[in-house]
Amino acid sequence: MRDLGVGFGHLLKGQRWVSRHGRQYGFGLLPGLITLVLYVAALVALALWGADAVTWATPFADDWSSPWQGLFRGFLTAVLFALGLLLAVLTFTAVTLLIGDPFYESLSEQVDADVSPDGTAPRSDLPFWRELWISARDSLRVLVRAALWGVLLFALGLLPFVGQTVVPVLGFFVTGFFLTEELTAVAFQRRGVDLRARLTLLRSRKTLVWGFGTPLGLAFLVPFVAVFLMPGAVAGATMLARELLGEDVEESGEGSARVTADGEFRPGGVTPGSVPPPPAAPR
């Protein structure tokens, strides 16, 4: 349970960091605003023409008597919009990060330098276009995983009682995990940690990940909130990535440095594709 608090603490630290760095926060808002406009337009279109799409997809119900036809198609329309909303929440971060890659790379790098005891930050030697390609490819792979979870949760949601109680809770935890993966990818990619290694790290401390991502996912359900929280979420995810990698962390002006469990100091990150073991539990 301690990791839940630590994960949530990183989320708060990230928001506090951007509140002290107004310029980075301002630039970090732009990609979220662009993505928000695109998603609102898509959801409005779904609300306006979703019923027509359901009618087109269910010709077998044309001869059904009232009220069964209306109830059936109304239910499917509501499900279609709910799936669209869930997909928007799951993909908002990935699309925003893709649009704002240069902004968030710079922000994450400054967070690294600010919290590192020696003031340095890992940097990628890859050209920009290569980094953008890797980011887009990994985001698509994560989206496929998230979509599979979405289909599974939707099927479970049809079960009586369980679908109305347990499944929504599971949905928030799944959303929180994938949100955290997308956000930490900015810091991990600069260190050469590939997608498989990132997922291994995140799964090794699920409660830490849930403590960060689940409340963020709940906040993202509130209209417009995601835009204003994104810069701080990227900053907090950078700190979370350092926690998962066992790197020293020191908030400038407050707190003290934390080292790995074996006392080793690794400011330079990890070898590309490798996964360092998670810090051992304190004795």
222 in Cβ contact with 36 (< 8 Å): no
pLDDT for 236 equals 94
Amino acid found at 113: A
Do the domain assignments include residue 282? no
Query: What's the Cα-to-Cα distance from 220 to each of 6, 73, 245, 278, rounded to whole Å?
Result: 20, 29, 27, 29
Do the domain assignments include residue 7? yes
Round the CA-based radius of gyration of the chain to a whole number and report it.
21
Do the domain assignments include residue 65? yes
Record the tokens describing residue 119, joined without a space. Answer: 């003031």
Exposure string for 240-249, b = 16+ CB within 10 A, e = fewer: bbbbbbbbbb
pLDDT for 260 equals 37
Amino acid found at 230: M
**pLDDT of the chain, 283 residues: tens digit per residue:** 788 888 999 999 999 999 998 888 888 888 889 988 998 899 899 889 988 888 888 888 888 888 888 888 888 888 888 888 877 777 787 788 878 878 888 899 999 989 888 777 777 776 767 777 777 787 778 778 877 887 787 777 777 777 777 888 888 898 889 889 989 988 998 888 888 888 999 999 999 999 999 999 888 877 678 889 999 999 999 999 999 988 854 444 333 333 333 333 343 444 434 444 444 444 4
Do the domain assignments include residue 283? no
pLDDT for 248 equals 55
pLDDT for 154 equals 73
Do the domain assignments include residue 257? no
Q: How many domains does the chain have?
A: 1
Nearest to 118 by CA among 16, 276, 241, 252: 252
Report DSSP state, residue 249: B
Taken in order 97, 169, 88, 17, is the CA torsion positive or negative?
Answer: negative
Do the domain assignments include residue 165? yes
pLDDT for 83 equals 80
pLDDT for 126 equals 67
Do the domain assignments include residue 264? no
pLDDT for 210 equals 93
17 in Cβ contact with 235 (< 8 Å): yes
Burial, 11: exposed, middle or buried (Cβ in 10 Å; 0-12, 13-18, 19+)? buried
pLDDT for 202 equals 92
pLDDT for 51 equals 87
Do the domain assignments include residue 97? yes
pLDDT for 15 equals 94
pLDDT for 17 equals 94
Domain assignment of residue 240, given as a range: 2-245
